[in-house]
Amino acid sequence: MTDMDGVLVREGNIIPGADTLLSRLRDKDVPFLVLTNNSIHTPRDLRYRLQATGLDVPEDAIWTSALATAAFLNEQRPQGSAYVIGEAGLTTALHDIGYVITDRNPDYVVLGETRTYSFSSIATAMRLVERGCRFVATNPDATGPSPEGILPATGSVAAMISKATGVDPYFIGKPNPLMMRAALNRLGSHSESTVMVGDRMDTDILAGLEAGMRTVLVLSGITRESEIDRFPFRPTRVVSSVADLVDEV
């Protein structure tokens, strides 16, 4: 398993070696899955965006926090309803499991990623949670990257709603083992024979560790080498980028 942003691509550009690594995996029939906590895009959209960078990743090899959230809700309350803050990746995943998206007495408030968080939608979510709606968020990431610098992400907006209501959300995405177990099931693999490659200690590496996988931290994304010792856990390996893994496939 591999994260996407910071591992395979960075700000819309391929990270050198990523295409070769994926080609090697396909040539040797090694199953792989690209995981992302970003819930904005559908797997089809992500496939197209990755193709534009030169990476060929099938739709069924992409697992997003939106898909994991939909799978969780489908298990908990099939054919339910939700008030959703998010983009097509999340709303499509919920529609695909038969959920109704509404602001009238929904079963859940579901918070995902968007680049256009609105005050009115956040206020509506706060009121619904305050009235007793169950609160779920796709991922805990507080910030996201952009060419101009960091952007507020799901975790930051979730904190705002929690501060106002006193209710914490249940986060589905990495590092929640739920997302990793669902991904392992999708791969048909066991944790002992699976490796998690990521660029963030607090999500990717922690997720792999808690799911019982070996972990590889790449230094091509968020976490810098000097920050590793701040954490009470360590990755199995640290490499500069996925290019260092090509010859090991």
Q: Is 3 a catalytic residue?
A: yes
Asked if residue 67 lies in contact with residue 40, where contact means CB atoms within 8 angstroms, the answer is: no
- How far from chain centre, in Å, is Cα 102? 24
Phi and psi dihedrals of 104, rounded to 5? Answer: -105, 100
The CA–CA distances, whole Å, from 215 to 184, 194, 203, 242 equal 14, 9, 12, 13
> CA 173, CA 105: separation in Å to the nearest integer?
25
Is residue 119 packed enough to be buried (19+ CB in 10 Å), middle (13-18) or exposed (0-12)?
Answer: exposed
> CA 180, CA 98: separation in Å to the nearest integer?
23
Strands 13-14 and 9-10: antiparallel
Structure-token pair, residue 232 = 């009470």
* Catalytic (active-site) positions: 3, 5
